[in-house]
């Protein structure tokens, strides 16, 4: 009995050492990912992901210069199905989608035949049917259906000159000014951005309090020492990510701590060896994704986790024949929506969904159990 226990212990220890040796570098560095190629829409080569929600639905666009983009929203964790996943139905218009929430609502811009623009918000998992004029654009939506965008207003008496007022859009369709300024002073201040489930908004260099207007005097998060900051996403902790210029003129990805201004010492996420980087998205764990220059000037998708920036191309399980150039979204399961290309065909973008694979340490118990069971089976045969 004692001898058999020793044998079992030896096998488990040996397996542990083997697994730790084999996977030590990847396990200590970052999670590995499986890759789902989202495919194409009816022979159209260029496909770009825009975001991924917590269900694993990917929002994206597929198209070409001549015809314009076609918006798609996938079934969770599945490639594009052209028969079911196309969101738009207005054949004479061009749509540009911007964001997706967990209900499958899509927001964006409709460019009409007369070259006028209007924002849109779909019903949950619904289609793009009509614009919301005078709302010019809708750039982000949270999981409660609250959105942000901009609304057109007349500057000149004859309305030939129009302005763009940043607005908050409620689920019932009512709107309010996003800035604590008159609309002339707020004109044009919306620059992309995001809204979290507390109603906090990040745009340009500002982060609002929950469900509050932006006060430029108190809500400016600053910069990395240069003159410009673009907040691109905000999680429910109030952490903002985006890009900001440094004192030496580089553009760098940043991540603030919760509800704090940019800290020059701690919030610059660095690069993958080049000069510039941009953070596109953050989840509740503080994991950040975006893109960065390499030392040779090429651009690659990154994951920033555990205070380290990783090239996502180095975190793929198995041999691959594609290159990831930009990560655009990350959900609460750690799934990442990325864009890239196959082989050397860098002119035709393709979209992918990366899903974390089980950590090597989680495999240890399974393998050890299997080894132990094998010993016990052999012992039973001897009795």
Q: What is the mean pLDDT of the chain?
A: 85
pLDDT at position 371 over 70: no
pLDDT at position 9 over 80: no
The pLDDT of residue 147: 98
- How many domains, in total, are found in the chain? 1
pLDDT at position 383 over 50: no
Average pLDDT over residues 149-168: 83
- Per-residue model confidence as pLDDT tens digits over 332-369: 999 999 999 998 888 889 999 999 998 765 444 434 43
Instruction: Note whether residue 123 is domain-resident.
Output: yes
pLDDT at position 234 over 80: yes
- Report in angstroms the alpha-carbon separations of 300 from 87, 126, 159: 29, 33, 45
- Per-residue model confidence as pLDDT tens digits over 53-89: 999 999 999 986 566 789 999 999 999 999 999 998 6
- Per-residue model confidence as pLDDT tens digits over 170-216: 999 999 999 999 878 888 778 889 999 999 999 999 999 999 999 99
Q: Return the HEC string of 267-324.
A: CECCCEEEEEEEEEEECCCCCEEEEEEECCCCEEEEEEECCEEEEHHHCECCCCCEEE
Q: Please give the residue range of the domain that contains residue 130.
A: 87-197
Structure tokens at 127: 């289609």
Instruction: Note whether residue 179 is domain-resident.
Output: yes
Q: How does residue 380 score in pLDDT terms, banded at 50, 70 and 90?
A: very low
The pLDDT of residue 44: 66
Reduced to 3 states (helix: H, G, I; strand: E, B; else coil), residue 25 is helix
Instruction: Note whether residue 115 is domain-resident.
Output: yes
The pLDDT of residue 360: 63
Q: How does residue 115 score in pLDDT terms, banded at 50, 70 and 90?
A: low
- Per-residue model confidence as pLDDT tens digits over 237-285: 999 999 999 999 999 999 999 999 999 999 999 999 999 999 999 999 9
**Burial profile 191-217: b = 16 or more Cβ within 10 angstroms, e = fewer:** bbbbbbebbbbbbbbbbbbeeebbeee
Instruction: Note whether residue 339 is domain-resident.
Output: no
In 3D space, the residue among 315, 302, 255, 247 whose CA is nearest the CA of residue 274 turns out to be 302
Instruction: Note whether residue 132 is domain-resident.
Output: yes
Instruction: Note whether residue 53 is domain-resident.
Output: no
pLDDT at position 3 over 50: no
Instruction: Note whether residue 145 is domain-resident.
Output: yes
Tell me if 128 sits within 8 A of 110, measured CB to CB: yes
Average pLDDT over residues 4-20: 39
Mean pLDDT check: name the lowest of 14-23, 42-51, 72-81, 260-269.
14-23
Tell me if 357 sits within 8 A of 71, measured CB to CB: no
* Through-space distance between the first and last CA atoms of the chain, rounded to whole angstroms: 12
Q: How does residue 372 score in pLDDT terms, banded at 50, 70 and 90?
A: very low
In sequence order, the β-bridge partners of residue 51 are 59
- pTM of this structure: 0.85
Q: How does residue 169 score in pLDDT terms, banded at 50, 70 and 90?
A: very high
Q: Is the dihedral of CA 174, 164, 67, 62 positive or negative?
A: negative
């Amino acid at each position: 009995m004692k001898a058999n226990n020793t044998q079992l212990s030896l096998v488990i220890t040996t397996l542990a050492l083997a697994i730790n040796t084999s996977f030590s570098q990847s396990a200590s560095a970052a999670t590995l990912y499986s890759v789902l190629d989202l495919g194409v829409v009816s022979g159209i080569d260029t496909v770009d992901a825009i975001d991924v929600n917590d269900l694993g639905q990917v929002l994206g666009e597929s198209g070409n210069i001549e015809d314009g983009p076609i918006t798609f929203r996938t079934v969770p964790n599945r490639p594009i199905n052209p028969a079911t996943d196309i969101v738009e139905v207005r054949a004479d218009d061009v749509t540009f989608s911007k964001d997706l929430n967990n209900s499958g609502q899509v927001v964006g811009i409709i460019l009409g035949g007369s070259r006028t623009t209007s924002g849109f918000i779909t019903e949950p998992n619904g289609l793009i049917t009509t614009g919301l004029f005078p709302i010019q654009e809708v750039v982000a939506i949270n999981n409660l259906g609250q959105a942000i965008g901009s609304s057109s207003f007349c500057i000149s008496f004859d309305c030939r000159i129009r302005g763009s007022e940043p607005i908050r859009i409620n689920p019932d369709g009512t709107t309010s000014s996003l800035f604590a300024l008159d609309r002339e002073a707020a004109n044009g201040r919306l620059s992309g951005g995001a809204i979290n489930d507390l109603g906090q908004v990040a745009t340009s260099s500002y982060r609002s309090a929950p469900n509050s207007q932006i006060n430029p005097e108190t809500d400016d998060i600053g910069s990395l020492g240069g003159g410009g900051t673009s907040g691109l996403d905000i999680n429910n902790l109030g952490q903002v990510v985006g890009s900001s210029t440094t004192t030496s003129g580089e553009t760098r990805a940043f991540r603030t701590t919760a509800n704090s201004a940019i800290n020059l010492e701690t919030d610059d996420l660095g690069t993958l060896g080049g000069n510039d980087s941009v953070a596109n998205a953050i989840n509740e764990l503080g994991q950040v994704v975006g893109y960065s220059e390499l030392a040779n000037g090429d651009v690659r998708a990154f994951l920033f986790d555990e205070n380290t920036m990783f090239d996502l191309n180095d975190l793929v399980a198995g041999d691959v024949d594609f290159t990831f150039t930009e990560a655009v979204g990350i959900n609460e399961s750690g799934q990442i929506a990325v864009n890239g290309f196959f082989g050397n065909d860098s002119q035709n973008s393709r979209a992918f969904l990366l899903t974390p694979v089980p950590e090597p340490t989680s495999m240890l118990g399974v393998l050890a159990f299997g080894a132990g069971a094998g010993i016990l089976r052999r012992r039973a045969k001897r009795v």
